[in-house]
Chain A
Amino acid sequence: MLNNYLLSIIIFLPLIAALVVAFIPGKFKGAFKYIALGIASLQVLIAIVLLSGYDASYAGVNHLNEFQFLENVPWFDIHLSSFGHISADYIVGVDGLNMSMVLLSVVVMLIGTIASWNIKTREKGYFSLLLLLNGAILGCFLSLDFLLFYLFFEFMLLPMYFLIGLWGGVRREYASIKFFLYTLFGSIFILIAMIALNLSVVDPAATAVEAGLVQEGQVVSNEIVEQVQQSLAAGQLSRENLVHTFNMVYMTDPANYIPGSIMDYKVMKVILGQEGRLLMFLLLFIGFAIKIPVVPLHTWLPDAHVEAPTPISVILAGVLLKIGGYGLMRTAFMIIPDGVGYYGWMMGLLGVISIIYGALNALGSKDLKKMIAYSSVSHMGFVLLGLASGTTEGVSGAVYQMVSHGVISAALFLIVGVIYERGHDRIIQNYSGLINKMPRYTIFTVIFFFASLGLPGFSGFIAEIFVLLGSFNSSVVNGFLPKWMTIIAALGLIFSAAYYLWTIQRMFFGKFFTKIEVSNDELTDLNTREYVMLVPLVILALLMGVFPSFLLDMINNSIAVFTDVIGQYGDIIQQN
């Protein structure tokens, strides 16, 4: 019984807890963090249950009946006379595209909650916002209805804005507003594309009911659905009976598009000198590119990271950026696969630029946290490059990179937090020879630096090497990306080695000194709470580096469908 609502539980548990926290009197402030911790742990448990019940043989992606733990409830249906119906559903479900994201989210949220242990101001607000954020993130990953997805997507901004703006560093107000407006700006594009899609796509099952082909309450068989789709294509259905839907899975089926609509496959409507579908692809891309972030739309990120408190940086880098990559896959790539071939080249180029530009900026950063923020830009560039390649290895590598970067960057921001908490300073040049004072901390830093620069044995290597192999292979398989892009992208590996090893040299090795006012006993080595956060992340990064099949088996079938859908447009592009 409970099993049927697991996804709703994992989404709404933190949201309800946020409300509960908001109503608990402030004098019990010591309890808030325990509530948050309890909820996050419970979510991990639910995720484990999900994982054990998850059957990787179902691909999902473009078949609604192949989604697992599916909950599909009508949300609203508005009849607008001659226009037809606008309907939205509450649909949540998992497939190979979002299962790994859900696992990543619950782990990073748990780590983020533990990292929040030292929050000493306005705990009530902090923890209720944290829980709100938690629920919104999971909602975003699990929604299969575009409107629901968009709602959660927008809803994430609110807690994030306050968490940075109230608990952040010196320039927190500037950084939070910038973050908020920038992302909001991006979501306008997504909104436009969403509306265009809603105008163009029908729900064949609901339309069948409206058109009187089946009785209400009856099960709509596949034949009926096909019949509806055929009459839709023939223009035999009256507009009044069409049920416009936000269902993202229906949007992946070309047969569900209304002939002559903005997003119609066959008759390309030209808007602003661009074919409708391609324009919408571009809008979706820009919207999610801001979130990833892709150079040149990335400048909110260094500011947000530098000003955000440690746990928020952890969540921002660990999970929020992945919503960009995931959103791109679920919406732009799957709903408008014909756009991938058309814009693949541009996306690949932007990916390569992000890799190199991010790495060079990291090399030029003096602030440790800023350096790691730019390294995130660089590593997320691999995600974009892998997705743009449209090859199986490349896309799998991109998903792998999202999970891997989620784990490693979360750890890196924790590492920064450790030294900032003790020295209240993050300038690389202000420290030297930390190994003499904090040997264990240095060991963990070196491990994560090497993990992040793509050392084999850690997850990042598997991800990056297959993104590179996949993007190189693209020119042979589907012709999306030229070979030189891979060669340039691979140079990023040299730069990432450079900035990490340079930092190790400057901060950790050599003779001990600091240029800041800090007493000797303040620079203490890691404490138990920090071990509790860092050790599992090391283990995760190692496990994913040595046993890639755990994650890959989970996503393989879905990725295969994903690349097939994209690939069928590869030849068309090449012919043109």
Chain B
Amino acid sequence: MINPADLLEPLAWSQSTILCLLVLLLPLFSFIVIAILPNTQAKASAWVGMFMTLIASIISVHLLIAGWQGAGIHSRVEWFSFGHLPPFTVGVLLNDPALLMLVVVTVISFLVHLFSTAYMAGDAGYKKYFGFLGLFTFSMLGIILADNVLVIFIFWELVGLSSYLLISHWNHKESAIKAAKKAFIVNRVGDVGFIIGLAILWSQFNTLDLEALKVLMQASTIENGQWIAGAHSVSLPWLTAAGICLFLGAMGKSAQFPLQVWLPDAMEGPTPVSALIHAATMVAAGVYLMARVFPLMSIDALTFVAIIGSVTAFMGAIAALAQHDIKKVLAFSTISQLGYMLMGMGVGAYDAALFHLFTHAFFKACLFLSAGAIIHALHDYAHRADIHFDAQDMRNMGGLRKYLPFTFIAYLVSTLALIGIPFFSGYLSKDALLSGAYAWADLMSERTLSWHYLVPDLGFITVVLTALYMVRQLLLVFFGDFRIADERSIEANIKVKDVPWVMKTALSILALMSFGFIWSLNPLNHSLSWFLSALKTPTILVPGMNGNWQNNLVELAEHNHMQVTVISVFMIVIGGLVAWFIYRPKGKYAINYFSRQGASNVWQWLSFNNWYLDEIYNDFIIQPIEVLSQKLQLLDTKVIDNFIDKFAIFNIILGHLTAWVDRNIVDGLVNFSVYFVGRVGLMTKSMQGGKVQSYIALAFVGILIFIFWIIW
């Protein structure tokens, strides 16, 4: 039997640990410095933030180069302890995925800082904005580095806070505040699951340290339907429940069905925030969490993950089809892509899921920042041309490639990556994911017709839909004529102006990362990617696991690879062609789309309203709870409290009666009634007169008599 305390010895700090902590603390330092800065020094806040994140990204890149494919780092200290339980530790656990995440988060954070200096220029909350960006980056890095599931949860909540603060950045806008609140509360729903997951692991192993958990998990056994770890045993379903509960947390943060409703609303925040938090990093935290706890997930829990992931991928893609808002399309696309990643985790394609996380982080950040550049340019245009229109509504755009050529190219490149065209990064990762999903279905169903095939099938359908909505967006935004321009502005020769160079710098770096050759020497074959060949899928350590399961999966996936590539490229072509046919400039449908009010059929309504999930939750959860809380207020004041009041009045009446009896009837049980009158009289009189002191004395006499009564 393993003693958990032995697995929790403090581990020495190395130089790399110090560097990791430096990366972690620099953004926090930025937050603190900006908080202290006087309001007049708003400009300086951007420099502080940029400087700190730049240093952090340089250190991260150094750590990546020095530590890639190395043994990893694990340093740990004791944090606190309870009674005589094993100590609670906290530390840094750095392996290859963590190293990559470190670079992705710090680099994108730096680019977003850079981009924001132009995007947020002149904003009243400029200083606050950069401060919260620092807080966010710190919390996100904490999730990446933490070696303990509870510590991950701590930073998990802190990113939730920073997300709340940044979504409600424009806190005079009712919609922004509501969106922020919604994001936090929906995430809390997932977090309750997370906490239960923690509780299951804690009660079984008495520690939440990841490395210790792995050892203890492997040492645990299954006997007679009981999951036994040392002296602790629970019934077997709790093993799967632990995995599913942790995944519930991921469902909240990574916007998975049925908790995906907060993410589209979160677009109320500034667009660079959407790029950093709600596309590239925070929402991917759920995928990262799954990667961290992957060895602790049972096959049934993973199956649940795969189903939710594929369903979300499909639902998100459908919802992206009929949006008018440029950011909403990208938000639903993010939901869909996160679904892909979690589907990947669920089907055991750990490396593919992480691969997609990283490629997606760059091309989606690029898409969001490009959208930000477009919105920025259109705001500027609206200001100069003195016309008011919604700068995020794609129906007001069109033909922008002529005015924003640089942004167009960045957008095009990252779109191609997103829909998965060969030679672009998304192709590699998506191909790996779909091969994995297909292999999983083969393995699970043993090649009979089974529901398991629905998982890769939904994945393939999503490929069509992704091509469809992204090509639609390209056509609506960049092709055709600029639709909002009125005659007056054309006469005055007011045109959309190109964006400043800082924005272009950020865009170009992100767009570059969307090319396939960055990620693989052979941009057509994902299995030759330096990335995938380096990332080792950890062995699942839950008891009762068939050791060959994971090996078979890998073999099958390689076997399927060519098939999957052909099918998905075919799907992309179909999706693209359909989009072109419907939304081509001057096409009949497109012209009708610009002029009509609302949706024309039930499918468009369903898509536009994101499957009516908001309405369903409002009617079946939020409203009932509101009504319940009001009813409980009534219950509290009108029933429970009323009962207490009635009881008091009853005592007053009783007091009068007893007083009468006492005065007029000589009672044998003197002691008893003196006591009783003392008590009740106190209640009565103080209710009326409020003179309490004298009655305390009376009560005390009563008490003394009571004591005597008890003694004899």
Contact = CB atoms under 8 A, between A and B. Distances in A.
A207 interface: no
B446 to A, nearest CB: 35
Contact of A469 (B177, B202, B633, B679): B202
Chain B binding surface, main DSSP class: helix
Contacts of A457: 154, 158
A2 B131 CA distance: 51
A559 B83 contact: yes
A83 interface: yes
A556 interface: yes
Interface in A544-560: 547-549, 552-553, 556-557, 559-560
Interface size class of B (residues with CB under 8 A): 35 or more
Contacts of A491: 192
Nearest to A473: B203
Contacts of B640: 296, 299
B79 interface: yes
Interface residues of A, number: 73
A469 B85 contact: no
A424 interface: no
Contact of B82 (A303, A392, A475, A497): A392
A430 interface: no
A357 B710 CA distance: 39
A279 to B, nearest CB: 14
Contacts of A465: 150, 153, 195, 198
B512 interface: no
Interface string B154-190: 1101100100100010011010011011001100110
B244 to A, nearest CB: 13
A556 B87 CA distance: 12
A21 B629 CA distance: 46
A246 to B, nearest CB: 12
Interface string A473-500: 1011100000000110011011101100
B686 A180 contact: yes
A363 B626 contact: yes
Interface string A210-237: 0000000000000000000000000000
A161 interface: yes
Contacts of A158: 692-693, 696
B632 interface: yes
B154 A461 contact: yes
Contact of B189 (A83, A433, A494): A494
Contacts of A148: none
A486 B196 contact: yes
Contacts of B83: 392-393, 396, 556-557, 559-560, 563
A526 interface: no
B707 A494 contact: no
A472 B690 contact: no
Contacts of B619: none
Interface in B579-604: none
Interface string A281-304: 000000000000000100110110
B648 interface: yes
Nearest to A562: B83
Contacts of B80: 547-549, 552-553
A80 interface: yes
Interface stretch (A125-133, A314-322, A502-510): A502-510
Interface in B302-340: none
Nearest to A356: B632
A361 B633 contact: yes
Given A396-B82, A472-B203, A509-B172, A83 B626 contact: no
Interface string A360-384: 1101110000000000000000000
A178 B651 CA distance: 13
Given A361-B633, A364-B633, A433-B172, A392 B85 contact: yes
Contacts of A525: none
A195 interface: yes
Contacts of B164: 501
A177 B651 CA distance: 14
A173 B690 contact: yes
Nearest to B173: A510
A552 B192 contact: no
A483 to B, nearest CB: 8
A468 interface: yes
B196 A487 contact: yes
A511 interface: yes
A493 B191 contact: yes
Contact of A455 (B161, B637, B710): B161
A529 to B, nearest CB: 23
B126 to A, nearest CB: 15
A502 B157 CA distance: 18
A509 B180 CA distance: 11
B79 A455 contact: no
Given A195-B707, A476-B234, A556-B83, A360 B629 contact: yes
A289 B631 CA distance: 24
B202 A511 contact: no
A365 B633 contact: yes
Interface string B600-644: 000000000000000000000000011011111100110011001
A341 interface: no
Nearest to B208: A469
Contacts of B682: 184
Given A363-B625, A473-B202, A549 B81 contact: yes
A518 interface: no
B711 A83 contact: yes
Contacts of A556: 81-84
B687 interface: yes
A199 interface: yes
Contacts of B85: 392-393
A54 interface: no
Nearest to A400: B82
Given A494-B189, A510-B171, A549-B79, A364 B629 contact: yes
A199 B637 CA distance: 41
Interface in B18-53: none
B84 A392 contact: yes
Contact of A494 (B79, B150, B180, B192): B192
A173 B637 CA distance: 18
B696 A360 contact: no
A95 B498 CA distance: 71
A406 interface: no
A549 B81 CA distance: 7
Contact of B177 (A300, A455, A510): A510
B386 to A, nearest CB: 25
A502 B82 CA distance: 35
A509 B636 contact: no
A263 to B, nearest CB: 13
Interface in A446-471: 450, 455-457, 461, 465-466, 468-469
Contacts of A505: 177-178, 181
Nearest to B155: A456
A497 B79 contact: no
Interface string A73-88: 0000000100100000
B632 A360 contact: yes
Given A180-B686, A476-B234, A552-B81, A493 B199 contact: no
A469 B154 contact: no
27 contacts: A80-B711, A158-B693, A177-B686, A180-B686, A188-B679, A191-B706, A195-B710, A302-B636, A361-B629, A364-B630, A364-B632, A365-B633, A393-B83, A456-B153, A456-B158, A457-B154, A476-B203, A476-B234, A490-B192, A491-B192, A497-B185, A501-B184, A502-B181, A505-B177, A509-B177, A556-B83, A557-B83
Given A177-B687, A184-B682, A393-B202, 13 more contacts: A195-B707, A199-B711, A299-B636, A302-B636, A363-B625, A392-B85, A455-B161, A469-B203, A472-B196, A472-B202, A501-B164, A552-B80, A553-B81
Nearest first, the 10 closest Cβ-Cβ pairs linking A and B are A364-B629, A392-B83, A472-B199, A456-B154, A549-B80, A364-B633, A560-B83, A363-B629, A473-B203, A299-B641
